[in-house]
Structure 1
Amino acid sequence: MYAHRPEAMRFADDLASRRDLDPQWVRQTLGQARHLPTVVRLMQPPAKNFTKNWRVYRSRFIDPVRIAAGVRFWQDNQASLARAEADYGVPAEIIVGIIGVETIYGRDTGKFRVLDALATLAFDFPASHPRASERSEFFRGEIEQFLTLQSRLNTDPFAALGSYAGAMGMPQFMPSSRNKYAVDFDGDGRIDLWNSPADVIGSVANYFKAFNWQPGMPTHYPVSFDSRKLDMDALMAPDILPTFSVASFTAKGAVLEGTALQHSGPLALVELLNGDPANGGSAPIYVAGTENFYAITRYNWSSYYAMSVIELGREVAAKKKNGN
């Protein structure tokens, strides 16, 4: 229990003062949060010799069970998905892809008490992580958002269950995202990210709109390379942040074709590794990512995640269209 941790109680007093909350309630609530060793273990950074593998990563999310569940979700919520696409400009297949990757359409929203997970990561984030201090500060901010919300709604702060990182509901929103971007899309006067698919759909679409989703823009284009003028270091330097115009992108040896050559916004070279070629892996896959690809990474800062969302949404759309 964090009641015995002086730094946690100091944080509780400061939070109550800044947010005008009942100090006794904040201390008592945070004090009852439990340290979760499993959460600490799950937050440990990967081994130094770990090499990402897109095909392995993809196989975790693009599978028959998840695709079939996605088709059912889309069929059951077609009106809400169409309205969200019309209101926010975010395609239904992207929304469906997000919810499927995150929780298999609400099947797995997490079994950790949100407050326990947030407290553990705020006050006992693994010191071996290269960004431990920064991440601890982030999770203290999430506790602040979570307790402020629970106080305002007058709900039990220990009832909410979520992921080991404290993410909540079908879309796995962190408390700060819930407070900033979640919407009452079904119009019943409250926001429910666990039991209202409409609220989930509208909230995901609103999130992407807030992160500058561009309606009608592709997420990425195929890319190949001209070895005679390829400057891979320059192309990879900005990572997944769209930086290059089509002209500067192709001048550095990237080869685009068709509609990609008319793209008006910035592009990024996205690399998806397939293990270590020296140890049985295969060559990386590359795509030209747009601002919309980057917008998906604002949900989870990973190009592998973004591509999984895109491909799951496409697979579900194709399965739904074909009806088999």
Structure 2
Amino acid sequence: MRFADEVAERRGLDVEWTRRAIGQAQQLGVVQRLMQPSPPGTRRNWAAYRGRFIDPVRIAAGVRFWQEHGEALTRAEQEYGVPAEIIVGIIGVETIYGQQMGDFRVIDALATLAFNHPPEHPRAADRIAYFRGELEQFLSMQNRREQDPLQPLGSYAGAMGMPQFMPSSQVRWAVDFDADGKVDIVGSAADAIGSVASYFKGHGWHTGMPTHYPVQLDAAPEDLAALLAPDILPTFSVFDFTGRGALLDGEALEHAGPLALVELQNGDAPSSYVAGTENFYVITRYNQSSNYAMAVIELGREVKQARQR
């Protein structure tokens, strides 16, 4: 209730409305369990992760989505410079093109993570602050729209709509792309498409830049460690990259911006690697996972190829 009072004061909301909304939120044990961190030392498995998202059902749904909303996808690519296949990849990975947008009440998910986040998480304090901010944005957004804060459904983290935007992303990046006078990323595919493109453009998408290049490694252990140290953040010039044993060819050697050596762990098998560009990094602003970014890229590519066939 103290939080409700603070939000009402900061946002100029009615105190009783804010208290009533938060007072009806329920703590969800399943959300707490789903937010538990992986055990230390757990290696991810890119092949298994890929298999969850690159499958015939999702590809076929992507082709139908592209056929039905091709005009909006073309317009978004023209206005924001983000390829249609990347937008298609995002919405497909997130919700199978609106088929699975989540069935948790958003206010329950956000309140659970704002006030009862698993304390054993290594970044618990930061995440509590983040989810309190998202809960505040959600309440303010629903009040401004004169919509019931108890109605919206979303993911166990409080993300909503076809592109699974958190409240702060809705406020900042969502757009009325179908020009019907309201922003609706739940029911309007055009708004979802435009909003994803707006998000990427706002996070620094470079029109025409590839997301990644193939790479071969001939690196000493110390050079490999240095290449992996920045993780997915593009840091190295092509000269520095190749000088440390990350070998490129073709157009990659002409790349003007920084690169990152992106590791795709394969469980107990050796890792795979790609050279990630600034656009690869932009995709990870949506979800900070190299596996996620590659799944988006590859699903979009598979849908594009299937549509062409």
TM-score, normalising length: structure 2: 0.99
Distance 1:115 1:228 in 2: 50
Describe the shift of the 1:291–1:265 C-alpha distance in structure 2 as closer, same or farther (beyond 3 A): same
| Pairing 1:308–2:295 present | yes
State the partner residue of 1:113. 105
Kindly state the Cα deviation for residue 226 of structure 1 after the two structures are TM-superposed: 2.4
CA contact (8 A) 2:219 2:246 kept: no
SS of corresponding position for 1:60 = helix
1:28-47 mapped onto 2 (5 Å cutoff): 28-47=20-39
SS of corresponding position for 2:272 = strand
Residue 242 of structure 2 is aligned with which of 245, 250, 259?
A: 250
Residue 131 of structure 1 is aligned with which of 113, 118, 123?
A: 123
Distance 1:204 1:285 in 2: 28
SS of corresponding position for 1:15 = helix
- Report the residue type matching 1:107 in the other structure: Q
Kindly state the Cα deviation for residue 225 of structure 1 after the two structures are TM-superposed: 1.8
State the partner residue of 1:80. 72
State the partner residue of 1:3. none
CA contact (8 A) 1:113 1:161 kept: yes
Q: Percent identity?
A: 65
1:206-221 mapped onto 2 (5 Å cutoff): 206-221=198-213
Distance 1:256 1:267 in 2: 11
| Pairing 1:156–2:148 present | yes
Kindly state the Cα deviation for residue 228 of structure 1 after the two structures are TM-superposed: 6.5
CA contact (8 A) 1:229 1:251 kept: no
State the partner residue of 1:104. 96
SS of corresponding position for 1:34 = coil
| Pairing 1:292–2:279 present | yes
| Pairing 1:147–2:134 present | no
Distance 2:60 2:83 in 1: 19
Distance 1:11 1:178 in 2: 22
Q: 246-255 or 230-239, which moves further after superposition?
A: 230-239
CA contact (8 A) 1:44 1:126 kept: yes
- Report the residue type matching 2:118 in the other structure: P
Residue 46 of structure 2 is aligned with which of 36, 51, 54?
A: 54
SS of corresponding position for 2:53 = coil
Distance 1:103 1:321 in 2: 23
Query: What is the total number of aligned residue pairs between the two structures?
Result: 309
Distance 2:147 2:229 in 1: 47
Distance 1:150 1:303 in 2: 33
CA contact (8 A) 1:230 1:252 kept: no
SS of corresponding position for 2:280 = helix
SS of corresponding position for 1:317 = helix
Residue 176 of structure 2 is aligned with which of 166, 172, 184?
A: 184
Distance 1:132 1:49 in 2: 19
Distance 2:289 2:166 in 1: 17
Structure 2 unaligned spans of 5+? none
Distance 1:103 1:185 in 2: 19
- Report the residue type matching 2:94 in the other structure: E
Distance 1:13 1:202 in 2: 35
Distance 1:229 1:143 in 2: 45
Distance 2:65 2:282 in 1: 23
- Runs of 4+ in structure 1 deviating by more than 6 angstroms, as ranges, are none
- Report the residue type matching 2:271 in the other structure: P
Structure 1 unaligned spans of 5+? 1-8, 277-281
Distance 1:86 1:230 in 2: 44
CA contact (8 A) 1:183 1:191 kept: yes
CA contact (8 A) 2:219 2:244 kept: no
1:202-281 mapped onto 2 (5 Å cutoff): 202-227=194-219, 231-276=223-268
- Report the residue type matching 2:299 in the other structure: L
Kindly state the Cα deviation for residue 51 of structure 1 after the two structures are TM-superposed: 1.5
Kindly state the Cα deviation for residue 229 of structure 1 after the two structures are TM-superposed: 9.2
Distance 2:117 2:222 in 1: 42
Describe the shift of the 1:86–1:231 C-alpha distance in structure 2 as closer, same or farther (beyond 3 A): same
CA contact (8 A) 2:28 2:112 kept: yes
Distance 1:48 1:219 in 2: 30
- Report the residue type matching 1:292 in the other structure: N
